[in-house]
Chain A
Amino acid sequence: MEFFLQLLVNGISLGFLYALSALGFVMIFKSSSVLNFAHGELLAIGAFLFLALSTWAKLPIILAFAVTLIGSFSLGFIIERFFLRPLIGEELIEVIMLTVGLAAMFKGLLLFIFGGDIHSYPNFLPEGLSMQWGAIQIPSVYVATFIIGIIFLIIFGFFFKYSSQGIYMRSVADNQPAALSLGVHVRRVFALSWAIAALVCAMSGIVLGIINGVNVHNLSAIGLKVFPVVILGGLDSIGGAILGGVIIGLLETFTGGYISTSLREVVPYIVLVLILMVKPYGLFGLVEIERV
């Protein structure tokens, strides 16, 4: 029973981690319908920028954090301006392959600069956050993730629901020509959504780096893990992303704990295919009505 509860807690914290790392992905998809294969690399860029600033340049943590966020915000702008904008209106597969190419470029550069080793941040989280119930314990990083995750999800929810930019983004995602004809500045929406997504990615990358250590391969692998998480919940729903994250996290820890550790990596994908067969737009995705 204790084992079960510990797995449950681990699964939920892992799920929140996945949901947090999926936020930037959902952001881009919600506004521009681009499936971003460079997501893991964006996480890694944020994490490494923070690493370089905090350990190499020895900036104070707060300053390093702020500079990282500004840096990734600008990077998002640059990516959109120079790589994605020429492709507006092109085929889906070409946009996908462009992000795959970007992923290879970023990964190559990061490996070239930082190597394939695991780096770690200086310890700056307060220790008092860790929780303990009987034999079950939650380390403080997970508690911090949980809190950061909840805060961000709430901010995101309000942003998309009430702010004018959020509403523009939803309108562009829903119907680009219609949004254009109603006076929405579509290019600005794209640029802004990439910039915000890169910023959120940097944040999630830093959290992931605190928990697992900063490593290019691990972070880009998490970029692939985002797909089942996001698709399971439905690509355009943030609440779905949380639920998807928690489902995938629980599936992984329970198969890892009770069946076999090697099956752990594949189970999310098997479940994903089965769910997609029953509900083609994910659990909470918007069903598109198609007309010829």
Chain B
Amino acid sequence: MQKFQFHPCGNFKESYYQELTIFETDFGRLWMIIGLILLFGVIPFISSAFVLYVLNTMGIYAIAAIGLNLLIGYTGQISLGHGAFFGVGAYAAAILATRAHFPFWAALPAAGLITAAVGMVFGLPSARLKHLYLCIATLAGQFIIEYVLVQWEGLTGGAAGISVIGATLFGLDLGNDRTFYYVIYICFVFFAWVAVNLIRTRYGRAFIAIRDNDRAAEGMGIPIFPYKLLSFAISSFYAGFAGGLYAYYMISITPEPFNLWLSIVFIAMIIIGGLGNIPGSVFGAVFIVTLEEVLSHATEYLMNIGASTGVAITIAPLREFVFGLAIVLFIIFEPKGIAEVWRIVRSGFRLWPFSY
């Protein structure tokens, strides 16, 4: 184990294990500890109720985005159904809580497992399909799940939805934003830790091999179909777990939010954040949620101005325009996402004053 040392100014790795290290120097660990202290000790106490709400949304979306990045960024299987899987998780948790009276701590993993099973079913076409065709098959999955959520009224309550009330964990009331913040971010840290380490195992390496060239991976003895299914299952588990958190946090859920647009938003998160990069998915979730909040406040503000000056313009559609513009600009000018910007900024500091 290295002691305090500086980054070498080049790639001097001598073994595969050095390549696998997460923290190259102890500064990384130090920064992570500082970050965790800020996350759990400082931020929840200085934030207003609104900021806490935004942070909680970010945390929930970040968990789902990490799951999607494992599937798209690492395994290379494009899925347009992640929003629907998120919805399946939300409904599974809500139904387990209201019908089967599952406690909070059991309902979430159960929702994750149910979603993983559903995800594997919709991952089955990946046995024969790839690229565009798989993309369209998952799009079909999105529409089929949406249909089931609306139409299976006996189970899901149809368009009226379900309400989940009174989540408690070890006697703590989770109705409070701050308590829920802790629940969300403990789960978030755990899932991020699992994802980062999963990539370093044989499973993660198999995923990356399949992404880079599935025929070659098969030729080297990786059974690609089981691994693709596994990737679908893990990714859906993340989505389902996050969906369960969403259901408990939002208290009442309807099929409305889990549409194709949500799937697109998840993909936008990982593309803007950085494909094949776990911190990138978190950056993407933070960016998109912030953008959405800023846009909705800006439109509200402009609408009020419009109402007072008598200029009746509906500015709401411009929200969609700006959202699309953000995606397009990011893809054209920084296809590797915020994670790449972050790396450049960091190495700029590290190499200062000789940065190039």
Q: What is A's interface to B at a CB cutoff of 8 Å?
A: 33, 35, 83, 86-87, 90-94, 96-98, 100-112, 115, 224, 227-228, 231, 235, 262-263, 265-266, 269-270, 272-273, 276-277, 280-282, 290-292
Contact = CB atoms under 8 A, between A and B. Distances in A.
Is chain A's interface secondary structure helix, strand, loop, or mixed overall? helix
Interface in B272-303: 275
Contacts of B78: 92-93, 96
A87 B328 CA distance: 11
Nearest to A98: B331
Contact of B144 (A97, A101, A270): A270
Q: Does more than half of chain B's interface fall in helix, strand or loop, or is it mixed?
A: helix
Interface of B: 72, 78, 124-125, 128-129, 131-133, 135-137, 139-141, 143-144, 147, 150-151, 213, 215-216, 219, 260, 264, 267-268, 271, 275, 314-328, 331-332, 335
A274 B269 CA distance: 30
Residue from B147, B150, B314 whose CB has the most chain A CB atoms within 10 Å: B147
A86 B323 CA distance: 20
A109 B267 CA distance: 22
B324 A108 contact: yes
Given A35-B132, A94-B335, 6 more contacts: A97-B327, A110-B317, A112-B318, A227-B136, A273-B141, A292-B219
Contacts of A111: 314, 316-317, 320
Contacts of B129: 276, 280
A96 B143 CA distance: 18
Contact of B321 (A86, A105, A265): A105
B137 A272 contact: yes
A92 B275 CA distance: 12
A108 B139 contact: no
Contacts of B216: 292
A174 B322 CA distance: 36
Contacts of A98: 327-328, 331-332
Contact of A292 (B215, B323, B335): B215
B135 A35 contact: yes
B137 A273 contact: yes
A279 B260 CA distance: 25
Nearest to A270: B144
A101 to B, nearest CB: 3
Contacts of A104: 320-321, 323-324, 327
A280 B133 contact: yes
Given A97-B267, A291-B215, A112 B314 contact: yes
A238 B310 CA distance: 52
Nearest to B268: A97
Contacts of B141: 273
